[in-house]
A and B are shown apart, each in its own frame.
Chain A
Amino acid sequence: MSQSPTPTMPSLATQSLGMSYGTRQVIDGLDITLPSGQVTAIVGPNGCGKSTLLAGLARLHKPDSGAVLLDGADIQRLPTRQLATQLALLPQEAVAPEGLTVTELIRFGRQPHQGWLRQWSAEDQRVVQHALAAAGLEQLADRPIDALSGGQRQRAWIAMTIAQQTPLLLLDEPTSALDLGHQIEVFELVKHLAHHGRTVVMVLHDLASACRYADHLIAMREGQIIAAGAPATVVTPDLVRMLYQVECTLLTDPDTGSPLLANVRRSPAPA
């Protein structure tokens, strides 16, 4: 951590959270705490409830039971606008109205801070410029979103959440449609944001990226948390087998010390 965050950081946690999708109970009685100022990755096989959990954390879906707590207060009781100054969300496959430019998109991030008689403040101007710079998009400021590469587009969306100036940032599969180079662009930006005082939570389907870029890993299976902690300590061949029914050999990245999955293969059918 190169720099400590300026104000006290709000904490996000769940308390025996239960959520369903339609009539199907997806997660039940989940208690998690998301470490402040770190990148948390939620991983698990398809249908394990990780996206539902993120939707609950972002208050997109209402829980059946339990609560999501922001600084100890139930987020269901917070006004939508106030929540938007604390918590930013980048949904999966976000789409912008056609023709919108990068700067125009980023300006929408100021929405929760603006009002009737405060439509464009000095602060808005400064923060939008800052967000452009932080995401390395200054050269592309006036480009339409649809004319960008996948990685640039995703960085523009993240820049919008930067302009929202929230201490918490939730990302749903931010790299799912990107090639390796573009994935790295996005992950490095996310890492950078955490180092500057944001708490980042992202849902990932790729365990290798989670090992490399997350400070904290939450592994889910069938709506339950089966492991949580630093990737180097919680990722084991046993965990990988429980999550994905595959065998692997675990190595340590010589440069970063993070776990590396090698020789991944199908588990032999149980006898």
Chain B
Amino acid sequence: MNSLMKTTPIKSSPMPFSSEDQFRADGNNNVPPPQGYWRFAWRSGHGANSLLFEQRAVVVNLGLFSALLLASVIYLSLGSVKVAPMAVLQALFGNADMMASFVVQELRMPRLAAAASTGAAFALAGILMQTLARNRLATPGIIGIDNGATAFAVASIVGLGVSIAPPAMALAGATTAAVLTFGLAAGNGTQGYRFIVAGIGVGAVFGAITQLMLARVAIDTANAAYPWTVGSLNARPSGALQLLMLGLTLGLATAMALARSLTLLCFKDATASGLGVNVKRRRVEVLLLSVALTGLAVAVAGPVGMVGLIGPEIARSLSSSRSVPILAATLAGALVMVLADLAGRTLLAPIEIPVGIVTAVVGGPWLLWILMRPQRSFT
């Protein structure tokens, strides 16, 4: 093949630079899509429009979404009071008996929403940070952002004695940790080990500060703040969930809007820039998004950073390497968190295992597996 190619004469054909209009005129609908894509075309006032959907991504996203729905029904049905799956569906649509309605709508539904939203936010923040750093280990949990958010949130509960809204404090903490990490890795940008090592150091310091604060306050106060330090869905500050859901909606929409240029960030900076991506600005946007999502999610559930590693990893193993699987990672994160909290609530009932511990038990071995298996893409 090699020698054949060398002798292939280079074909000469004219190279028009601007002939778009003449091509818009003829059959916008008959253009063959690239292999593995579905193409939808229509005509509007702006001319010919077209959308591409990667077939595999559509299948993966639908599959993950179905799995999330199924897991949610099981989540709502299991617990100290069992509600049959059919009764769950009836309760959701408002025509079940009082008891089932109360358990499903008042007790479990808000917690399910918290589990799904935090899982989605952690995983989305994770894949954004990984893409930014071109490193699969560079999730907010590993580079100290979770711990920064936690330390500030704990401070607002125990240290200050005044109740500053935990989401605001968690956001401030996430931002502080991010500034420190990037400041300490200055000069080397987001690539390379220095950035990750700096992040691990920053995270360790914030973890220690959290422990110190807990050790110095009255035992009751420490107990109240304890969930923050391991990650639990049992102590959700009021209003934090609503803020997270708003942030997640906006964040996911923004990330999807940036998806095309995020794929280009997998190339070298010079290549991405040559293809028209404003690399510096895109980096800042992605970083802000990732830090904000982490802060909002920590305010609800504490540092469940492992989800930020597991969600993107599941999505990546299911997807092709043609694009960054933003939506799939988000759905996978929500699914993992819902399943983890379901396991935490039911396995040792009536004792509840905090969801952060369940994800750590699963995530630890997962991390080892990532480190030990032969490198694929995204190194």
Contact = CB atoms under 8 A, between A and B. Distances in A.
Contacts of B16: 6
A114 B377 CA distance: 26
Contact of B260 (A109, A111, A139, A161): A111
Given A117-B50, A118-B48, A196 B15 contact: yes
B235 interface: no
Contacts of B260: 111, 114
A173 to B, nearest CB: 12
Interface residues of B, number: 57
A134 B11 contact: yes
A118 B51 CA distance: 7
Contacts of A55: 270
Interface in A145-162: 149, 151-152, 161-162
A98 interface: yes
Contact of A95 (B14, B18, B49, B268): B268
Contact of B275 (A59, A111, A130): A111
Contacts of A195: 12
B10 interface: yes
A3 interface: yes
Interface string B1-16: 1101110111111111
Interface in A1-44: 2-3, 5-7
A122 B275 contact: no
Contact of B377 (A5, A99, A142, A151): A99
Contacts of B1: 139-140
A81 interface: yes
Q: How large, as a class, is the contact surface on chain A?
A: 35 or more
B52 A119 contact: yes
B54 to A, nearest CB: 11
Could you say which of B8, B33, B270, B377 has the most chain A C-beta atoms within 10 Å of its C-beta? B270
Contacts of B15: 6, 130, 134, 162, 165, 193, 196-198
Interface string A92-108: 00111111100110011
Contacts of B11: 133-134, 136
Interface stretch (B20-28, B79-87, B102-110, B153-161): B20-28
Given A97-B321, A117-B46, A122-B27, A3 B14 contact: yes
Contacts of A136: 5, 8-11
Could you say which of A90, A97, A113 has the most chain B C-beta atoms within 10 Å of its C-beta? A97
A97 B31 contact: no
Interface of A: 2-3, 5-7, 55, 58-60, 80-85, 87-91, 94-100, 103-104, 107-109, 111-114, 117-126, 130, 133-137, 139-140, 142, 149, 151-152, 161-162, 164-165, 167, 181, 185, 188-189, 192-193, 195-198
